[in-house]
Amino acid sequence: MPTEAAPTIDDLHAAYAAGESPREVIAAVFRRIAAVDDPGIFIHLRSEPDVLADAARLPAFDPVGHPLWGVPVAVKDNIDVAGLPTTAACPAFAHVPGRSAVAVERLVAAGALVIGKTNLDQFATGLVGVRSPYPVPRNAFDPARVPGGSSSGSAIAVAQGIVPIALGTDTAGSGRVPAGLNDLVGLKPSLGAVSTRGVLPACRTLDCVSVFARTPDDAWRAYEVLRGFDPEDAYSRPVVTQTPADATPVRVLGVPRSADRLFFGDVAMAGAFEASLALMAPLADSREEIDLTPCFAVAKLLYDGPWVAERHAAMRSFLATNAADVHPVTRQIVDAASRFSATDAFEGLYKLADLRRVTEQIWSRIDALVVPTAPIFPTIAELAADPIGPNSRLGTYTNFVNLLDLAALSV
């Protein structure tokens, strides 16, 4: 269980305003890494002198002009950081980019200090966090259970108090499931709100850069830095976003009807969700039970439909020459995508369009929808016995969000 939380952005900026230096903050980060002693968190950890050199290049303290001034951050290792290898948790895939991803460039321009690259389910294929040739990051509350994935290392870096902010990606829930299983905030923006240029694709039509943080405020402040149109990213788009202070009050809160509260026998997770609903009751004027059947039908398209072929498209060239270097479960999933035809892809698009129209009727009646982030909390031993089943169940309430292009927050 975590024994120390990273300071929030406000905490850090108050300390800097009082005279503390980035050198002291960075030293504390590396002491915390040593104390946590989890070799599964980082695939590539920068040296303390290298991070200090970046800190020395920061302009004078200016939290308005540089809203992440002196804030340590971690970056998932499918997102490019100039000068550091990008492996996507596959050593044979490793290459050193000359330029950082746009998301990283924006963090650094805002004053953030990159500490290192974090572990993940290989090629961001999984929601469990154990499909990696590197050591499995330990869940912050129970090391016998999965850390969640695919952004496992980023989640644990925040949960263990190493950094206040970490970048992940979210194609089917990878930025929310690890947050939910480690008591964090996981922010998944809508498609194109944050540029994915410099991010290794999983499914290009669905991929989003996500944020892990301890608090909603920190997640929002990171998102404010990250968001913005990128004309060189074909999927980027201008997104109008209200500030939290200006957001429209929630009048009607949607919740799953009883038949759609699926926990697959996990009594603890079911109880936690019911407790969460009770806590959220005062946030809305009323709540309405929602039939999630169309949402579940959308989710089924992601894993059982032709969208898995997008992963094959992203990895096809590498697989042709390096199949033996790919994690066996990842290879099994991607190889299965070859069974889909172009006809299947179009039929999937038609079905998604029909289901999207049906779900629009849901949103006409509610302002927000509350669902479990994850319905189960499997052990690593359970994953060893069944590598696919628990992973699929973890995406029960996250998969449809990506295909419907919704924004989501795990809290």
Contact partners, residue 98, CB within 8 Å, separation at least 6 = 82, 83
For 210, list phi and psi in degrees, rounded to 5. Answer: -120, 170
Catalytic residue list contains 151: no
Catalytic residue list contains 76: yes
> Strand 72-76 relative to strand 252-256: parallel, antiparallel, unpaired?
unpaired
In whole angstroms, what separates CA 201 from the centre of its chain? 14
H helix or E strand, kind and range, residue 312 = helix 308-322
Closest by CA position to 109, among listed 226, 283, 17, 229: 226
Tally of CA atoms within 13 A in the half-sphere of 230 that contains its CB: 20
HEC readout, 361-398: HHHCCCCEECCCCCCCCCEHHHHHHCCCHHHHHHCCCC
Q: Please tell me the distance from the alpha carbon of residue 139 to that of residue 117, in angstroms, as a whole number.
A: 18
Catalytic residue list contains 174: yes
Token digits for 362?
Answer: 């849901």
In whole angstroms, what separates CA 378 from the centre of its chain? 19
Q: Which of 132, 150, 152, 154 is catalytic?
A: 150
Question: 387-401: string of b/e by CB count within 10 Å (b at 16+)?
Answer: beebbbbbbbbbbbb
Q: Which of 100, 132, 174, 410 is catalytic?
A: 174
DSSP state of 167: E
Token digits for 252?
Answer: 């009607």
Q: Please tell me the distance from the alpha carbon of residue 219 to that of residue 227, in angstroms, as a whole number.
A: 12
If you compute the radius of gyration of the chain from its CA atoms, what whole number of angstroms results?
20
CB atoms within 10 A of CB 355: 22
Residue 299 DSSP SS3: helix
Token digits for 51?
Answer: 């991070």
Residues tagged active-site:
76, 150, 174
